[in-house]
Structure formats: structure tokens, C-alpha cells
Amino acid sequence: MSPNVPLTVPTAPHVPALVDDVVAALRLVPGETVVDGTFGAGGYTRALLGAGAGRVIGFDRDPDAIANGPALVPDAVADGRLTLIEERFSQMDRVLVERGLSPVDAIVLDVGVSSMQLDQAERGFSFGQDGPLDMRMSQSGLSAAEFLNQADEAEIARVIKEYGEEPRAHSVARAIVAARPLTRTAELASVVRKALRHHPGMKTDPATRTFQAIRIHLNAELDELEAGLVAAERALSPGGRLAVVTFHSLEDRIVKRFMKERSGSNPAGSRHRPVAAAGPAPSFADIAKPVSASNAELVRNPRARSARLRTAVRTDAPAWDQPFRPSPTHSTSGGRP
């Protein structure tokens, strides 16, 4: 599939998770410039433009999302209110500076796989539809089939355990290696279900965690999120607002720890852990309590079930020079608050 040939453009506007909460949290002033770091099917962008944004700069690593964008928001493209950029959101600070668009007034990130990608069987993200075992957001690099057919059992188990938090990761990895070669999503889903003794009464499909883990690994999603938060810190003007929507605990922990660290809200020391030396001035403030989907939204959009929104406001302090590293591994302990 050529990355320059767009897939089917959605016929109905996509409504992203927590969109009303995101718009409310960003408190847009008419004419402000906003970055939609995960453009996808343009749902947040349409809402932001409708709320008074003077300009939206949409980033997406998926070439299909960028190719389809003008058809999804044609008026905004035509009058210059929407600029679409095929790039990872972790690169937004560099790209905005290069284009003379920095700083910006607000940034929204909707982390993880998009509904558009999930709904297209040929992209290979969904275990609910049979398609090629792909899962590449940028449509380049190592595919899921290549990873699963080439990696050793220990590496596959590590990925499934770390990124899928699958307690029986070694059993799943062993079954995958025994079933190789795998080329289709339905094959992988069947192997995982059999390894985990799936039965119709299970509340959640046991393939969920394995598909999540492989997708996160292939697309380096947690590394991208960590770098993207730092890029947002550099790109926002003083008083600029940051809104991040996550869909599982690994992502949410990273966002939570970033906002706590950059706001100077890390826990005080104790006799077991001495107080750390004073660091840079806080680059974020006004860290809001996390927001989850209301019952009314869940009726309209069941995919918002696990969505969580965290927001913060940029101070006038310089961006921190030191990198953000939440933990030696991404699979940190503790759950959501």
C-alpha cells in the first residue's frame, strides 16, 4: 500500500473521547493558535476551530491521516486556519520553530491508536477484524508480522509483559513461537485466545493486552509520549494550556509523573529517601484533577471507557534542560489515583 494513497475517508465526523472536556480545559481565546498533536480523523481539530481557535496546526505520523485531512476539514484548509504536518508530535517544537509558528497557545495530545486506524482492517491494529499483521502507525519500519516471526521467545514475552501487563506473557510468547509464521491478525488473536483459554463468558477479549503491547512496542509509543511532553513544554507560550488524553495506565502514569515533576509537586523526602536538591523553576502549574468520561458520553462513545484527561498550564519559567525519565522501565508500579 502506497503511503501517498489515502484510505477511505470517514463519511461521518469522528467524535473523539472527552472532546468537550478538552475544549473546556483549554479555555481558548478567539484567534489563538493550537496544536493538535494527534490529528487522526480531525475530531479535536473541528472542535477547536468551532471553539474559536484562530489556527490549528495538526501533526500526525500516519500519512493517511494527513492525506485525508483536507477532505475532513476542507474550509479550514482553504482559508489557512489549518496546517497539516506529517511528523511525530515529539518533533513539534523543532518543526514549529523551523516554520516560524512557535510558541503556541495550547496543545492537545490524544495518545495511542486512533479510531480510524482501528476501524481499517488493512492496517492490522484490531483483533476484531482480520487483516495483515501490520500495526505500523507511520506505515514504515518493522511490522508486527516481522517482529513476531523474527524475535526470540524471551523478547516477545518481555514486550507482552511490559507493555501489555499480561500476567501470562511467557505462555503467550511460547504459543506465538510455536505457531509461526503468523501473517494475519485473526491468526494471532486465535493463538493468544487459545493460550489464555478463552471462553465466551470472559468480560474482556484476552487478545486485548497482547495486541496493545505489540502496537506500543513497534511504534515506540511510550518513548514518543515522553519526548512529546518535553516538546510541548518547549512549544507552549507562558500561560499556554496542555491537555493530554490517555487510554491505559502506562500512558497515564507517564503524563501524571511529568506534570508532577515539572510543577515541582514531587513528594517531599523522608528518612528513607532524602530531599533532592532544588531543581529548575516549575515549568507547569495549575495541574487539574484527572477527568474521565461521563455516563452520558459512554453511551454515545463506548471507546471513551478508559480515557483519562490530564491538563496543566505553562508558567513563564524556561523549559527544563534535563530530560524526563519517569522510570528505568516504562512498566512502573502503582495504579491510577
- Residue 293 CA to residue 308 CA, distance in Å, equals 7
Structural domain total, the chain = 2
Structural domain includes residue 325: no
Domain containing 184 — which CATH number? 1.10.150.170
Claim to verify: residue 234 and residue 211 sit in the same structural domain:
no
Domain containing 230 — which CATH number? 3.40.50.150
Per-residue pLDDT of the chain (337 residues; tens, 9 = 90+): 333 333 334 444 467 999 999 999 999 999 999 999 999 999 999 999 999 999 999 999 999 999 999 998 999 999 999 999 999 999 999 999 999 999 999 999 999 776 666 667 778 678 888 999 999 999 999 999 999 999 999 999 999 999 999 999 999 999 999 999 999 999 999 999 999 998 777 778 899 999 999 999 999 999 999 999 999 999 999 999 999 999 999 999 999 999 999 999 865 444 455 555 567 999 999 999 999 999 999 999 888 999 999 999 999 999 999 888 775 455 433 333 3
Structural domain includes residue 1: no
Claim to verify: residue 182 and residue 206 sit in the same structural domain:
yes
Claim to verify: residue 182 and residue 310 sit in the same structural domain:
no
Q: Is the model's pTM score more than 0.85?
A: yes
The H or E element containing residue 322 is none
Claim to verify: residue 67 and residue 196 sit in the same structural domain:
no
**The residue count for the chain:** 337
Structural domain includes residue 324: no
Instruction: For CA atoms 4, 226, 314, 246, give the dihedral sign.
Output: positive
Claim to verify: residue 160 and residue 235 sit in the same structural domain:
no
- Residue 184 CA to residue 129 CA, distance in Å, equals 10
Last residue of a domain, one of 218, 237, 255: 218
Claim to verify: residue 234 and residue 104 sit in the same structural domain:
yes
Residue 33, SS3?
Answer: strand
Structural domain includes residue 9: no
What residue numbers bound the domain in which 249 lies? 19-115+221-266+277-314
